[in-house]
């Protein structure tokens, strides 16, 4: 998909004015935030588990090569194939090869952010493959030709009326007058339509929440069971996963699983957690005949060597975006690529280049909520700050404009010349007060329009900070002298 992250400001402005979207976004804090808080409160061990989960992933990343080798060995032992792709283009080519070799035409897909990252559907459809997303949210946006706006709730930006309209347009074989007012009717219709797809599929493609090195298993975590039908019914099962999805053991997987659903949706656990380990075995009466895993690097090995390594601990729970005031206000599409929210603002510059995504690290108030709720304790604001610095160094478009930089440089120079600084501050306060006396608030004062267009800037009270500080110090000296004079207890 083509990134529009550069246009974050315009995207955000459009999102803020989109009434439908704003109504849909109200569901984010109402649902996810309260439920996560309740789930965390029900598990006293939550914070201890966070420490352990972080340590597990740090250990994996420090030994990633060895765990990948062990994982691969177990998959091959079970009769599966492991393919290694350095880039998205290679991964797409590998998947096309697998499908062609198996004579597969009809493809069902479970939800996979990595497949979004590699723009898999855009590669498969023009080549004549019939691709159906089976996660309900993914299906809804596939019908609309959209991309996910949230990593666990891809259609969170849609209302049920929009869904009903899309269903009427696409499900032509069904009676035109059928009632579709209720979400339950919409879900029932999707179930019926997608059942046919599951049953007819030649190949099923799923992502993976984890790859377990101990057993060579790919783990998927879902509530719908769509991933399971995808990977069980088709002749060929293809898992696509990025390198950092590795965890050592079943116990380690468990530790992280105890955090995942609680952080994501506030559930105690997801409805379905499935460990798949290779193709059908002797005696099996169901399951895929072929089993492939496509491991995608696409920049991960470089991240490993950089200051941004901690982002590779991410388990894609979505908590950071659910709690982000910027995400809550503008939704996911404004971020302009696959991963929105704080995790996206860190990951996107790494995966598509800071020049393409410089406005994203700026899309933060540094309130720190994301780091607070991240189950993997990823220092998201700190990483965003690092990107800001790099963007400035590279003078990437979308960072602070030259006027701003000039102003900061001027301020820096002034700050190093105290006398001049005092003079300038006095002057500034004087001017601001002049404006205030005239208009009652600050409007149209030089350099302030970006702020005052949407907000009031209160007029300064009582002179410059330095003047007030001097007064304050004098006052303190005076009162402590009095105190010494009288002595305590008198």
Partner 1 sequence: MSRFDQRDEILARIRRALGAADDDPERRLAVMKRLFDHPPGTVPARARRPRDALVAQFISMLESQAAQVSRLERARDIPKAVVDTLRRRNLALRIRHGSDPYLAALDWASEPALTRHLGAATADDAAGLSRALAGISETGTLLLASGPDNPTTINFLPPLHIVVVREADIVGSYEEGWAQLRALYGERSLPRAVNLVSGPSRTADIEQTLIMGAHGPVALHVFIVGSD
Q: Are 215 and 250 in contact (CB under 8 A)?
A: yes
In the bound complex, what is the minimum distance in angstroms from residue 253's beta carbon to ligand SF4?
15
Q: Which stretch binds partner 1 (CB under 8 A): 213-221, 356-364, 365-373, 443-451?
A: 213-221
Query: How many other CB atoms are there within 10 angstroms of residue 141's CB atom?
Result: 19
The DSSP H or E segment spanning 203 is strand 203-206
DSSP strand pairing (81-85 vs 210-212): unpaired
Q: Which is nearer to ligand SF4, 110 or 318 (CB)?
A: 318
Q: Which stretch binds partner 1 (CB under 8 A): 14-22, 266-274, 432-440, 446-454?
A: 266-274
The radius of gyration of the chain from alpha carbons, rounded to an integer in Å, stands at: 27
Q: Are 375 and 355 in contact (CB under 8 A)?
A: no
Query: How many other CB atoms are there within 10 angstroms of residue 316's CB atom?
Result: 18
Q: Which stretch binds partner 1 (CB under 8 A): 149-157, 168-176, 424-432, 441-449?
A: 149-157
**Residue 298 binding target from ligand SF4, partner 1, none, CB below 5 to 8 Å by type:** none
**What is the length of the chain?**
490
Q: Which is nearer to ligand SF4, 354 or 376 (CB)?
A: 376
**Within 394-433, which residues bind partner 1 (CB under 8 A)?**
none
Q: Which is nearer to ligand SF4, 50 or 83 (CB)?
A: 50
Q: Are 300 and 87 in contact (CB under 8 A)?
A: no
Diameter of the chain by CA atoms?
Answer: 97
Residues in contact with ligand SF4 by the rule CB under 6 A? 314-320, 343, 374-376, 378
Give me the residues paired with residue 107 across strands: 131, 203
* Nearest residue to 241 via CA among 205, 269, 271, 288: 205
Give Cα separations from 260 to 293, 309, 465 (angstroms): 23, 20, 48
Q: Which stretch binds partner 1 (CB under 8 A): 62-70, 314-322, 369-377, 414-422?
A: 62-70
Residue selected from 13, 16, 34, 45 as contacting partner 1 according to rule CB under 8 A: 45
Q: Are 311 and 347 in contact (CB under 8 A)?
A: yes
76 binds partner 1, rule: CB under 8 A:
no
Residue selected from 16, 38, 187, 420 as contacting partner 1 according to rule CB under 8 A: 187
258 binds partner 1, rule: CB under 8 A:
yes
In the bound complex, what is the minimum distance in angstroms from residue 81's beta carbon to partner 1?
8
**Residue 274 binding target from partner 1, ligand SF4, none, CB below 5 to 8 Å by type:** partner 1
> CA-to-CA distance for 168 and 177, rounded, in angstroms?
9
Q: Which is nearer to ligand SF4, 120 or 259 (CB)?
A: 259
Residue selected from 115, 134, 142, 399 as contacting partner 1 according to rule CB under 8 A: 134
In the bound complex, what is the minimum distance in angstroms from residue 319's beta carbon to partner 1?
15
Side-chain-side CA neighbours of residue 271 (13 Å): 7
In the bound complex, what is the minimum distance in angstroms from residue 257's beta carbon to ligand SF4?
13
Helix axes 183-200, 160-170, angle to 10 degrees: 40
390 binds partner 1, rule: CB under 8 A:
no
178 binds partner 1, rule: CB under 8 A:
no
């Amino acid at each position: 998909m083509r990134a529009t992250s550069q246009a974050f400001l315009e995207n955000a402005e459009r999102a803020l004015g989109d009434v439908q979207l704003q109504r849909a976004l109200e569901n984010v804090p109402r649902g996810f935030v309260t439920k996560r808080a309740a789930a965390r409160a029900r598990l006293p061990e939550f914070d201890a588990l966070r420490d352990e989960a972080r340590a597990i992933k740090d250990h994996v990343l420090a030994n990633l090569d060895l765990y990948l080798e062990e994982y691969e060995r177990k998959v091959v032992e079970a009769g599966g194939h492991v393919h290694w792709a350095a880039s998205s283009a290679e991964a797409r080519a590998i998947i096309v090869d697998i499908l062609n070799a198996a004579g597969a035409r009809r493809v069902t897909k479970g939800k996979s952010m990595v497949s979004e990252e590699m723009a898999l559907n855009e590669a498969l459809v023009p080549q004549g493959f019939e691709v159906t997303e089976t996660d309900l949210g993914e299906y809804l946006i596939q019908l609309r030709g959209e991309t996910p706006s949230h990593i666990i709730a891809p259609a969170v930006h849609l209302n049920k009326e929009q869904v009903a309209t899309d269903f009427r347009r696409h499900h032509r074989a069904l009676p035109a007058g059928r009632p579709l007012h209720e979400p339950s009717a919409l879900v029932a219709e999707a179930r019926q339509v997608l059942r046919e797809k599951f049953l007819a599929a030649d190949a099923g493609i799923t992502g993976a929440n984890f790859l377990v090195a101990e057993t060579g298993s790919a783990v998927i975590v879902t509530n719908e069971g769509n991933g399971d039908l995808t990977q069980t019914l088709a002749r060929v099962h293809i898992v696509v996963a990025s390198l950092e999805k590795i965890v050592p053991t079943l116990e380690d997987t468990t530790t992280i699983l105890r955090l995942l659903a609680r952080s994501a949706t506030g559930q105690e656990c997801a409805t379905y957690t499935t460990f798949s380990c290779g193709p059908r075995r002797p005696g099996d009466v169901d399951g895929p005949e072929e089993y492939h895993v496509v491991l995608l690097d696409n920049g991960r090995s470089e991240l490993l060597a950089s200051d941004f390594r901690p982002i590779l601990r991410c388990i894609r729970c979505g908590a950071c975006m659910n709690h982000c005031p910027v995400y809550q206000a503008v939704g996911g599409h404004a971020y302009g690529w696959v991963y929105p929210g704080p995790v996206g603002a860190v990951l996107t510059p790494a995966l598509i280049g800071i020049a393409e995504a410089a406005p994203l690290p700026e899309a933060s108030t540094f309130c720190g909520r994301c780091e607070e709720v991240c189950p993997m304790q990823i220092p998201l604001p700190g990483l965003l700050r690092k990107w800001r610095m790099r963007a400035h160094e590279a003078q990437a478009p979308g960072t602070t404009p030259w006027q701003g930089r000039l102003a900061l440089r001027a301020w820096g120079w002034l700050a190093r010349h105290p006398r001049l600084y005092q003079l300038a501050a006095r002057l500034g306060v004087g001017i601001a007060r002049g404006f205030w006396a005239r208009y009652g608030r600050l409007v149209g004062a030089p350099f302030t329009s970006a702020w005052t267009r949407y907000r009031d800037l209160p007029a300064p009270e009582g002179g410059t900070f330095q003047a007030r500080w001097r007064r304050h110090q004098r006052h303190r000296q005076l009162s402590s002298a009095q105190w010494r004079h009288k002595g305590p207890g008198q």
